[in-house]
Structure 1
Amino acid sequence: MLHRTPTTGPIPFYSSYSVSKQYNTFIGLTFLKFTTETAWFPCDETLELVCEKFPTLCYFYQSEESGLAEYWTNDQESKYFPEKYIADLCTPDDKWYKEYFVNQTEVFKWFEVISGQSVESITEILAIAEQRKDENDNSFCNIYEYAAG
Structure 2
Amino acid sequence: MKNRFTIFSLLLAFCLLGFTQQNLPYAWLAGNWTGDGFRGTSEELWSQPDADGTMMGTYRHHKGDGSLNFYEFMVMDSTGLRLKHFNPDMTGWETKEDFVHFKAIEFTADKIVLKGLVFERKSDTEMEIRLDLKMKDGSKRTEVFKMKRK
> Under TM normalisation by the shorter chain, which class is it?
under 0.3
TM-score in terms of structure 2 length: 0.26
Higher relative contact order (CA 8 A, sep 6+): 1
Task: Answer 1 or 2: which has greater helix percent.
Answer: 1
Task: Answer 1 or 2: which has greater strand percent.
Answer: 2
